[in-house]
């Protein structure tokens, strides 16, 4: 077994929720995966594009996320279609950044 010493800023140590000074490599990978997953989630006020028809919203329409459901599986998105504001619930598979 080999030992790898890594320096990390106090702010990042707190940000990643690290509790111990020594981690296994697997623990470090799990922490980084969780952080990357958080960063990849769509957030409120982000602009998105519909990747599928969503009721009266055509595929390829641009909208703004106005609400993120707690599970991060669905979003309320406001689209402007023919000059009208339409808010639709979109699954995460129906929109992209």
- Report the C-alpha gap between 15 and 20 in whole angstroms: 13
Domain housing 36? 10-40
Within a domain: residue 75? yes
> What is this structure's pTM?
0.69
pLDDT digits (tens, 9 = 90+) for 16-55: 888 878 888 888 899 888 888 888 889 999 999 999 999 9
Within a domain: residue 5? no
Q: Do residues 53 and 22 both lie within one domain?
A: no
| H helix intervals, the chain | 10-15, 25-40
Q: Do residues 55 and 34 both lie within one domain?
A: no
The answer to whether residue 1 scores a pLDDT higher than 80 is no
Q: What is the pLDDT of residue 40?
A: 81
Are the C-beta atoms of 18 and 31 separated by less than 8 Å? yes
């Amino acid at each position: 077994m080999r030992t790898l010493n890594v320096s990390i800023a106090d702010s990042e140590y707190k940000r990643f929720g690290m509790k111990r000074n020594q981690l296994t490599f697997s623990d470090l990978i799990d922490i980084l995966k969780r952080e990357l997953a958080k960063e990849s989630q769509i957030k409120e006020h982000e602009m998105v594009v519909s990747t599928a028809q969503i009721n009266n919203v055509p595929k390829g329409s641009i909208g703004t996320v106005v609400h993120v459901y707690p599970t991060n599986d669905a979003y309320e998105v406001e689209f402007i279609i023919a000059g009208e504001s339409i808010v639709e619930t979109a699954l995460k598979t129906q929109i992209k950044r």
